[in-house]
Amino acid sequence: MDADLKLKLLTEHHHDQKGGMKTMPFIIVNEGFEKIASYGLQYNMIFYLMEVYHMEAVPASTVMYIWSALSTGLSVFGALISDSYLGRFRVIAFGSLFSFLGVTLLWLTSMVPQFTPSSCHEPETNCSPPTPTQLGYLFSCLGLISIGSGCMGPCAIAFGADQFQHHNNQRLIYSFFNWYYATASISTLVGSTVLVYIQDQFGWQVGFVVPAMFMFCSTLMFMLGSSLYVKVEVDESPYSGFIQVLMLAFKNRKIRLLPDDRYNRSNQGDRVELTDNLRFLNKACVVRDTNNDYSGILTVEKVESLKSLIRIIPVWSSGILVFVNVVQSFPTIQAAKMNRNITSWLEIPAASFSMFALLSLTIFIALYDRILIPFLAKCTHEPRGLLPKTRMGMGIITSIVAMVVAAIVEHTRCSLANSNQMVNMSAMWLVPQFVLTGITEALNSIGQMEFYYSELPKSMASSAMTIFTVGMTIAALVASLLTNIVDSVTSLGGGVSWLSSDIDVGHVDYYYWLLSFLNLLCFFYYLLCCRMHRSFSLQESRLIVS
C-alpha cells in the first residue's frame, strides 16, 4: 500500500477517536466557570473602586468602560491569532491561564494592604488617593483578565464545533450549541447574583477568592481534556484578503475601467456578480494581461466580500449608542441608594439588579421564537417574523423608552433625597428600565447578527460575531468619553456635576434625558442608513437581473 495512503488512513482513524460528546464536559465547564468568575467581578467592581481605591463615580465608571472595551476588543485579536497563528486550543489554554493569573492577583489586592490605599474608615489613617504603583498593579490585573476573556470568548464555541467535524452528525452540533448557550446564560446569572451576594455579605477577601477558585477549576478542566480534543490546523487568515484588495486597488488606481474589461473569477463556490458600487475596488480584480496570466490578481469574490463589509458599516454604526445605554454603571449606584429589601430578611445586592435585564432578554427571546415568529410569519409571510432591520429599529425605539423611564424614576428618587427626607423608595422601581434594556438587546443585538449573516457572503459568516464585538468595544469607549465630557462641562465654574459621586446632589436624570435625546437622533440616522443600504441593494438586484 502506498505510504501516503497509509498515513492518511491512520490520521483519519486517529481523528475518529478524538472529539465528540466526551469532550463537551471539559469545554462547557471551562467556558461556564470563566463566565461565572468574570461576571462575578464585573458587576460589583465599581463599588470596589469607589470604596477601596477612593475613586469618584466618573473615574470609576471610566475604568469600567475601558475594561469592558478592552475585553471585547481583544476578542477580535484573539480570533485573528487563533485563525492565523496558534490555533483555537492554544489560544483558549493561554486565555484560561491569563484569566486565572489576573483574578488571583486581583484577590491579592484585598489581602495585602500595600496594594491598596489606606482606608478612610480606620482611625489615625490618612484618606489618601492610590499611588501610581497601586493603580498600575490594579490595571495590570484587569488587563490580564481582559486578555483571558479576549482569548476564550471568540474561540470557545468554534472549538466545540470542531469536535464534531469528523462525526458527520449535525444533531450533535445543535445539541452542543444548545448546551453552550444554556451554560452561558446560567453562568452569567450565577455570577451576577451568587458571587455578588458573597462579596456583599462576606467582604472582598472571600468575594475575590471564589472567582479565583472558579478560574482554577476552569483552567484545570480544559487541560485535563487535552488528549481528547480535535485540534484543527491553522489556515490563512480570512481578513488578509481585505488588505490585499485595498493594496492592489491602490496600486492600480491609475487604471481606467472599461465596459469590456475581464475580471478574475474563482472556479469554486457560487458565482458572484461584480457590482458597480465602490467601483474603485474593482481595479483589484481586473485582468489586463493578454496572456491570461492571473497571478497577483485577486478574485471577484474577494472584492465583493470587502464591498459587503463596507456597505453594512453605516447600519452597524447606528447600534453603538444602543450599547452605550446597555453598559451604563449608574443604575447600580442608584440601586445602592434605594430600599432593596424584598422581605425583612432578604435584600437584593445592588449589583445583582442587572439580572432583570438578563432574565427579560432570555424570556423575550423564548417568547419571540416560540410564539411571535409563527404568528408574524403568517401575517408578513416572512419566515423570520420580522426583518433584521425592522428588529434593529424597534430595538433603538425601546432603548429610547428605557432611558426616558430611567430619567423619570431617577428624578423621583432625587426629589425625595433633596427634600431632607429618608429615601424609602423601593429599588424595584428600577426593574422596568432593566427589563426594557434586556428587550433592547434581544431586538437590536440579535437583529444585528441576523443582518450581518444575511448581508455578508457565506465565506464571511464567521465575521458577523467579530463585527458585533467591535461595535460593543467602540460603545464602551464612547460611554467613557461621554461621561467624562458631561462631568467636565456640568462642573465648570465650581458647579455640581450631573454625575457626582453623591448622586443625591447630582442630576443623573439629566444624563438619562441626554442619552434618550441622542438615541432619538440615532434613530433618524438609522433610517437614513437603511435608505442608503436599500438603494445599494436595488442597484445590485438590477445588475443581477440584467
How is the chain split into domains, by residue range? 17-117+128-235, 238-305, 307-545
Amino acid in position 321: L
**Secondary structure (3-state) at 339:** strand
Asked whether the predicted pLDDT for residue 534 surpasses 90, the reply is no
Nearest Cα neighbor of 312 from 532, 477, 77 is: 532
**How many angstroms separate the CA atoms of 410 and 516, rounded?**
14
- In the prediction, which pLDDT does 357 show? 87
Specify which of 87-91, 144-148, 199-203, 288-292 reaches the highest per-range mean pLDDT: 144-148
| Distance between first and last Cα of the chain | 54
Amino acid in position 508: V
Mean pLDDT value across residues 228-235: 78
**How many angstroms separate the CA atoms of 339 and 355, rounded?**
17
Report DSSP letters for 101-167, one per residue: HHHHHHHHHTT-GGGSPPPSSSTT---PPPPHHHHHHHHHHHHHHHHHHHHHHHHHHHHHHHTTTTT
The one-character DSSP state at 444 is: I
Q: How many CB atoms lie within 10 A of CB 193?
A: 20
Specify which of 1-10, 117-126, 171-180, 255-264 reaches the highest per-range mean pLDDT: 255-264
Fold designation for 17-117+128-235 = Growth Hormone; Chain: A; (1.20.1250)
pLDDT tens digits for 467-513? 887 888 888 889 889 999 999 999 887 788 898 888 888 899 999 99
Asked whether the predicted pLDDT for residue 181 surpasses 90, the reply is no
**Secondary structure (3-state) at 334:** helix
Q: Which of the four pLDDT bands, split at 50, 70 and 90, describes residue 394?
A: very high
Is domain 307-545 annotated with CATH 1.20.1090.10?
Answer: no
φ, ψ at 426 (rounded to 5°): -65, 135
pLDDT tens digits for 66-93? 998 888 888 888 877 887 788 888 989 9
Asked whether the predicted pLDDT for residue 186 surpasses 60, the reply is yes
Tell me the pTM.
0.75
Locus of grid cell 448546551? 179
Average pLDDT, the chain: 82
**Secondary structure (3-state) at 464:** helix
pLDDT tens digits for 455-474? 876 656 556 667 887 888 88
**How many angstroms separate the CA atoms of 514 and 483, rounded?**
11
